[in-house]
């Protein structure tokens, strides 16, 4: 990569597993949200922040749980296997996230920013990317919905129906 940062084999393996669901695999063990960090010139998996489907079972606000795993005052990348529904169809897409909070060390922010494009190219088939710079960029799920499609397109996120500014419910 331009910045001299390498992607570990472990990250590439995990990416391939997240991208394709094999029928024989236990879906509960599937990685749902994985934080990746640069350590000693290499992009590696942050094992403390590797959430599997089973870890989120019964969670009524998956979005809040996932964003709470972004480290405070530290940059990271993350891969998020996002399940959502539009009026037409149910979708399952990978979202590539770069978290670079304003209060992270400037040198760290520069390394993550300079590695971003090359790292993204190493991950073929990513449909959505989301660069986040502060808590206001993740205050609620609408921040993510804008990245998934036009306003009002996404009706359900992680099994939770979305109401509010995007939807009009005239049945009540």
In a domain, residue 75? The reply is yes
Structurally, the chain folds into a number of domains equal to: 1
First-to-last C-alpha distance (Å) of the chain: 55
pLDDT score recorded for residue 62: 92
CATH number at residue 32: 3.40.20.10
pLDDT at 169 over 60: no
pLDDT at 21 over 90: no
Among 61, 44, 51, residue whose Cα is nearest residue 28: 51
What pTM, to 2 d.p., does this model score? 0.88
What is the span of the domain harbouring residue 84? 6-161
pLDDT score recorded for residue 139: 85
C-beta neighbour count of 61 within 10 angstroms: 14
In a domain, residue 171? The reply is no
In a domain, residue 170? The reply is no
In a domain, residue 166? The reply is no
pLDDT score recorded for residue 77: 98
């Amino acid at each position: 990569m331009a910045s001299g940062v390498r992607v570990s084999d472990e990250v590439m393996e995990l990416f391939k597993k997240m991208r394709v669901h094999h029928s024989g695999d236990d879906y509960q063990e599937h990685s749902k949200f994985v934080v990746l960090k640069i350590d000693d010139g290499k992009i590696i998996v942050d094992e403390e922040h590797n959430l599997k489907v089973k870890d989120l079972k019964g969670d009524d606000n998956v979005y809040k749980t996932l964003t709470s795993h972004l480290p405070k005052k530290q940059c990271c990348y993350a891969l998020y296997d996002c399940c959502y529904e539009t009026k037409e169809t149910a979708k399952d897409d990978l979202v590539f996230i770069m978290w670079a909070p304003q209060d992270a060390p400037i040198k760290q922010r520069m390394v993550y920013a300079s590695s971003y494009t090359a790292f993204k190219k190493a991950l073929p088939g990513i449909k959505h990317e989301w660069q986040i710079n502060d808590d206001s960029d993740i205050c609620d799920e609408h921040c993510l919905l804008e990245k998934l499609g036009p306003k009002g397109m996404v009706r359900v996120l992680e099994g939770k129906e979305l109401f509010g500014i995007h939807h009009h419910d005239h049945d009540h």
